[in-house]
Amino acid sequence: MHEEALLRDLLRKVEEVARTNRVAQVTRIHLWVGALSHFSEAALRERWSLATRETALKGSSLEVEMSTDPNDPQAGGVILRSVDVTALGTP
């Protein structure tokens, strides 16, 4: 359940960035994943693909930076580092 909550929160954040900036399409998301987040990179990519398939984030690529430091203050979380977009009016 913890993983699903983190993923839903992440999706909301990325969608909010897209809405706020009125972008045409989100093309790439860069994440930092804490060592205690319970996500493996493969599982995160699979879940991302399924979670975004019927959203404005469909087709966005996922760049994942996995931490190995269980003592990091953010070790249990997933941090959105950046969102790359295609601006409205850009071919």
> Domains in the chain, please, with CATH?
2-87 (3.30.2320.50)
pLDDT value of residue 78 = 86
pLDDT value of residue 69 = 97
pLDDT value of residue 55 = 81
User: Please, what are the averages of pLDDT over each run of 10 residues along the chain (91 residues)?
Assistant: 75 86 87 90 87 84 94 92 79 55
Identify the sign of the CA torsion 10, 16, 22, 24. Answer: positive
C-alpha 67/C-alpha 57 separation (Å) is: 24
pLDDT value of residue 1 = 52
CB 81 within 8 A of CB 75: no
pLDDT value of residue 75 = 95
Identify the sign of the CA torsion 41, 46, 48, 51. Answer: negative
* Cα dist from 50 to 19, 36, 67, 86, whole Å: 21, 23, 23, 22
What is the reported pTM?
0.79
